[in-house]
Structure 1
Amino acid sequence: MLPSLDSVLKTTNLAHSLLDVPIEDNRKRLLSFPIGSFGNSLISLEQITEIMRISLDEVLIVPETPSSVLGSYNWRGEMLWLIDLEHMIGGTPLFEQVPQLRQPIAIVIQVDHYCFGMVVKSVNEIELHDIRQILPAKLGSFPAQLLPFITGYLPKGSTVFNPKAVVQFFL
Structure 2
Amino acid sequence: MVSEFLSGNTTLLNQTANNTPTHQTSVGEQFLRFHLGGETTALLPVHQMTEVLNIPVNQIVPIPHLPGWVMGVYNWRGEILWIVDLGHLVGLTPLHQQEISHSTYTTIVIHSQQKHTSKKRLGGQITGSKMLGLVVEKVEDMEWCNPDSIESPPLSAVTPELVPFLRGYWMKSNDEMLVVLEGEAIIAGMPKPAV
Alpha-carbon contact 2:45-2:182 (below 8 Å) kept: no
Residue 145 of structure 1 and its aligned partner are, at CA, apart by 2.0
Residue 110 of structure 1 and its aligned partner are, at CA, apart by 0.6
Does residue 164 (structure 1) correspond to residue 178 (structure 2)? The answer is no
Separation in 2 of the partners of 1:164 and 1:38?
A: 24
Residue 146 of structure 1 and its aligned partner are, at CA, apart by 1.6
Residue 37 of structure 1 and its aligned partner are, at CA, apart by 2.6
Q: CA RMSD in A?
A: 1.7
Separation in 2 of the partners of 1:38 and 1:46?
A: 25
State the match for 1:100 in structure 2.
102
Does residue 127 (structure 1) correspond to residue 143 (structure 2)? The answer is yes
State the match for 1:48 in structure 2.
49
Separation in 2 of the partners of 1:91 and 1:160?
A: 16
Alpha-carbon contact 1:84-1:94 (below 8 Å) kept: yes
State the match for 1:149 in structure 2.
165
Alpha-carbon contact 1:137-1:151 (below 8 Å) kept: no
Residue 26 of structure 1 and its aligned partner are, at CA, apart by 2.6
TM-superposition CA deviations, 1:85-111 (whole Å, max 9, x none): 01112222212324133x221100111
Residue 53 of structure 1 and its aligned partner are, at CA, apart by 0.4
Residue 163 of structure 1 and its aligned partner are, at CA, apart by 1.4
Q: SS at 1:125's partner residue?
A: strand
State the match for 2:21 in structure 1.
none
Q: SS at 1:65's partner residue?
A: coil
How many residues are treated as equivalent by the alignment? 147
State the AA in 2 paired with 1:162: E
State the match for 2:74 in structure 1.
73
Which range is displaced more, 145-154 or 88-97? 88-97
Separation in 1 of the partners of 2:150 and 2:56?
A: 34
Residue 136 of structure 1 and its aligned partner are, at CA, apart by 2.2
State the match for 2:153 in structure 1.
137
TM-score by length of 1: 0.79
The runs of at least 4 consecutive aligned structure 1 residues that moved more than 6 Å come to none
Alpha-carbon contact 1:86-1:93 (below 8 Å) kept: yes
Alpha-carbon contact 2:91-2:160 (below 8 Å) kept: no
Alpha-carbon contact 2:106-2:135 (below 8 Å) kept: yes
TM-score by length of 2: 0.70
Separation in 1 of the partners of 2:181 and 2:52?
A: 16
Q: SS at 2:148's partner residue?
A: helix
Which range is displaced more, 129-138 or 110-119? 129-138
Separation in 1 of the partners of 2:102 and 2:26?
A: 43
Q: Which runs of 5+ in 1 are unaligned?
A: 1-23
State the match for 1:36 in structure 2.
37
TM-superposition CA deviations, 1:103-144 (whole Å, max 9, x none): 221100111341110111210001111111111234333222
Q: SS at 2:132's partner residue?
A: strand
Residue 38 of structure 1 and its aligned partner are, at CA, apart by 4.9
* Structure ID, larger Rg: 1
